[in-house]
Chains A and B, each alone.
Chain A
């Protein structure tokens, strides 16, 4: 990286040094000052139209739009001077004159920048006495609904479609206060990444049909997670209410997904709330699966595995930790592991380097491969030998051709999963585990980046986190995993024994991720 020239300036009395060419708004962030803004977004080209980010810069005759004014050596910037506050108060008043003020029925309420900044800097009342402009709600297609009256015409959505998605189907139509966002005729917002306009919209003008009227923003609990939709590993936020995942939103990560999450990914959360879960450990008793205590289930599984080869079919949606413990089981029994992964067409986001909905529609394909699982897709059972114990680790073999006849070769089946496979005989023991929303763990994305996800809700019944159940199972078959008392401890064991993960730890990975050895600089 070439030496960048630094510029020194003072923002609200705080000295900062930022690279030449930085805009005042960004420099202020580094000084710990958030200048109110609407149209500016770090992922989009500067528009400078909302005029909300006006600040006073000494020796400049007029207030400067801080999103479009580059820093200068020795500049003194006043964000909260009387002049600047007055100007922003004026903008807020004007933004609200035609706004319906329908916060009580608006999905954005509680996470709305119009509310926030009005509360922070706006007038207590309006002087507007005229009739408000009215336009009907428009269905933009895809997941997007346009509530015209709430729109402040910041044009973030237009710029996203133009410059990032590079499918310019949105524009500003009309002029003056009649202006609104319009969609090209016959072009619905069904592009693979189009729903990001909902997150980009700072107000309640673009709302998600999926989330419409589902919850109030302040009722939600938010948990850092990683999208499980594909091998890209976009950082996400799982939002839950009353132990139910109600929304998935992007969590920005400069190295992985910038600010975005594809439509397929963001809407792929309902399975986390499945009700038909395996909730208690079960063993085969008198030809039927019966609920038992965990210890009995472990013992039963260990008994089935005694002296047998374990053939593990693992889901690539399992964490590195779970796969690592399965590997221990495999090593102990001299068995082997395989996985399959659903695929689909790749859908890149053109304006962002190395960001796409990937063909492999599972989050941990790379982790499974690094931990020695063989990708066999449709032939996932091809390695199963007569007399093997088939361990189904959260893969119920749905859609595998002739699964029943292949399974017939196995001496027994052990299920470690969130659901039970249907019509599969020979299940000796079934161990219920938590899904991604219910436990903590890590995934390795296609660039070898290890990323943590956190627990967003409670697991049903007696289900245990996958690392927990698998560590106990491994111990039960003689592969001592008693050190795996926490996800972090499990990962420490993994890092200690797997060269690819050497040197990594939960602390190091943090919430932004870290790259495994030999994977280069992530999204290079």
Chain B
């Protein structure tokens, strides 16, 4: 269901089916809803069988990159080493709040998914890394884990199978970058959450130097459903590109009538999603721009958005990405320079400070944008931003620096008029600021 709204008939409630039902949080309530059947089955399957099943389902990483999950798991070989599974529940991408709801309402779904994921990669230990700000989800997850452990579902003898399965919750300290998989591992290890140089890739040397796989919450939560209903069932959920299958939670925020989480089948038409499911723009306004996949992806105009099919390929066609599915919507009352300056400021604040381009570049870009918003910009500034963004792209350890440039440069390209209005003084910066205040509502 589109919590906190009632489920829309055109949604595909699979992961979100039990959102809003307090009993679903308990082990008893979850079992009554068909929980842990998939794990029971997985405990007696060969890891390669689970990998093959997930490969066949077409499930792709829901954290943003969209890497095929089964393929990722197949990098883990039975080499006799300690393996780890990390569940990335950092969900730090601005505009994204789907994992939060999964953990809040269906913690056992995640535990089951994590357990199956661990089995699939020859791991007996898994960590769920939850961002520090998620106080309620942490509480819920820890209570659910305690229940599952007490019931023997996880522990030294998982569900009586004789297999060891340990799951720990690790609480982050509040850093965006800890959602990057290698920074996440450093954070679990107790180090500063700095991304690591790849190679070595986590599948070779990850957490504590051991082969590790990192999966997003939504990805893992989908796995039990694939085991229960079969790969064909999952694969059949597809409305457009055959490379994008299954359901996807979309977090919608910003200037929209009904913000919240919506679960759709991949390939759903974006226009109908925006106007039908989400109820269109607030009264008296028009949609202007959308960042469809969490703040790191390029901005698209509403005209571009209306033709898009919501899947990995569809968004790529208009030069943006499905990303994490965090949909940030701006209406015509918003001042784009101000919005993008705010976004850049976020990245400048969160840069881990390792790579020069990111540490200095994000801050510089923010300062230029804020100066433009304050009415002190020049046309050269726009050129500088493009050159700076070019310099910040593809040259650093992780992609935070790229992620700062992408929405800003796409925003300038698509809303250049608004920037020029501020530069030439045709639009007063006080109004730009005021518009921002409305946006921050």
Contact = CB atoms under 8 A, between A and B. Distances in A.
Contacts, number: 88
A48 B396 CA distance: 9
Contact of B357 (A68, A91, A127, A128): A91
Interface in A39-63: 46-52, 54, 62-63
Given A90-B357, A130-B367, A176-B350, 15 more contacts: A49-B397, A51-B396, A62-B394, A63-B394, A87-B391, A91-B357, A93-B391, A95-B360, A97-B360, A129-B371, A130-B368, A153-B354, A175-B351, A176-B359, A177-B363
Contact of A176 (B197, B348, B356): B348
Contacts of A487: none
Nearest to B363: A177
A174 interface: yes
Query: Which of B348, B349, B391 has the most C-beta atoms of chain A within 10 angstroms of its own C-beta?
Result: B391
B176 to A, nearest CB: 9
Contact of B395 (A62, A130, A152, A172): A62
A202 interface: no
B428 interface: no
Chain A interface size, as a band, is 35 or more
Contacts of B391: 87, 90, 93-94
Interface string B346-387: 001111111111011111100110010000000010001000
Interface in B133-156: none
A179 interface: yes
Contacts of A62: 394-395
Interface of B is mostly: helix
Interface residues of B, number: 29
Contacts of A95: 356, 360
A46 B360 contact: no
Contacts of B357: 51, 90-91, 94
Contacts of A177: 348, 351, 353, 359-360, 362-364
B364 A176 contact: no
Interface in A68-120: 68, 87, 90-91, 93-95, 97-98
A130 B371 contact: yes
Nearest to A155: B354
A171 interface: yes
5 contacts: A94-B356, A94-B359, A130-B364, A175-B351, A176-B350
A353 B357 CA distance: 36
A83 to B, nearest CB: 10
Given A51-B355, A94-B391, A177-B348, A172 B367 contact: no
Interface string A163-182: 00000000110111111000
B354 A49 contact: yes
B351 to A, nearest CB: 4
Contacts of B353: 153, 172, 174-179
Given A49-B355, A94-B356, A179-B353, A171 B363 contact: no
A54 B395 contact: yes
A513 interface: no
B358 to A, nearest CB: 8
